[in-house]
A and B are shown apart, each in its own frame.
Chain A
Amino acid sequence: MSDSNQASQSSLSQMSSDEYKAIAKKHEPSRPVIRNCIRAFLVGGLICLIGQCIQEFFMSVFDMTTKEAASPTVAVLIIISVILTCFGVYDKIAQWAGAGSAVPVTGFANSMCSAALEHRSEGLVLGVGAKMFKLAGSVIVFGTVAAFIIGIIYALLGFGGRG
């Protein structure tokens, strides 16, 4: 356990990590921004189109207004997303579509479901229960805080609310 041995070892690991970085950089595809955007547009648009179809279905079959149909539409999309996540399909779509599958509400459900599945082995309470919101939690926290601040601003300015 001489110092020189340690030093050479660390320099070796330093070198190999530099080398690794160089190699990684050479092989890293330059982010194909335009291609990613086209994919995100197509898949995101398609998911919203499916949502629109489900909404129209609820409106015509159950005689709902647009507002009433919104909640069941979201619920149906979430069920579809959870099922696709269980069979590993949603993650394949996500690899191809990037933000196109992450931004719609289905991506929110996907992040919760995949976290729940991933941590299942740690038990129902510490795994599924505690880790389910690993990714979705930040969305809920920031959304809630923002909504609270906006609500307070409305109240302070005396706008009252909106029906």
Chain B
Amino acid sequence: MQFLWAFIVGGLICVIGQLMMDLIKLTPAHTMSTLVVVGAIADGLGLYDPLVKFAGAGASVPITSFGNSLVHGALTELERDGWIGVVTGIFEVTSAGISSAIIFSFIAALLFRPKG
């Protein structure tokens, strides 16, 4: 059942992005930045976790979950270490995504020539 919800919720988040690009005529960069901030605010309000529980990868794969993870890291370390945790914790959860994107992109640039 979660597979179905992952498809529907993930698809709907992408539709929201598409509508922002088509109707409000935002550039892709503006759309992505807005979605990340929306995800961060949603987690700040405690709304994103229930969505992840409900839709699984449908909520954790779109870029909104990047904002969600940044807030999660900050709040987790705030709990543990106090004020300084807000700064030290921000990238804790998203490290896997950012690091692997940097590393694999770099390796790709070493091995490949641009296509198309």
A residues at B contact (CB < 8 Å): 31, 33, 36-37, 39-49, 51-55, 66, 70-75, 77-79, 82-83, 85-88, 91-92, 98-100, 102-109, 112-118, 120, 124, 128, 132, 135-136, 138-144, 146-148, 150-155, 160-163
Beta-carbon contact of B37 and A143 below 8 Å = yes
Contact of A47 with B10 at beta-carbon distance under 8 Å, contacts A37-B15, A52-B2, A140-B98 already known: yes
Residues of B within 8 A of A (CB-CB), count: 82
Q: Which 4 A-B pairs have the closest CB atoms?
A: A48-B10, A44-B14, A161-B79, A45-B11
Of A40, A109, A140, A161, the residue contacting B104 (CB under 8 A) is A109
Beta-carbon contact of B115 and A88 below 8 Å = yes
Beta-carbon contact of A128 and B106 below 8 Å = yes
Contact of A105 with B61 at beta-carbon distance under 8 Å, contacts A75-B100, A98-B21 already known: yes
Q: Is the interface of A mostly helix, strand, loop or mixed?
A: helix
Given the complex, which residues of B lie within 8 Å of A114, measured CB to CB?
114
Given the complex, which residues of A lie within 8 Å of B114, measured CB to CB?
114, 117-118, 120
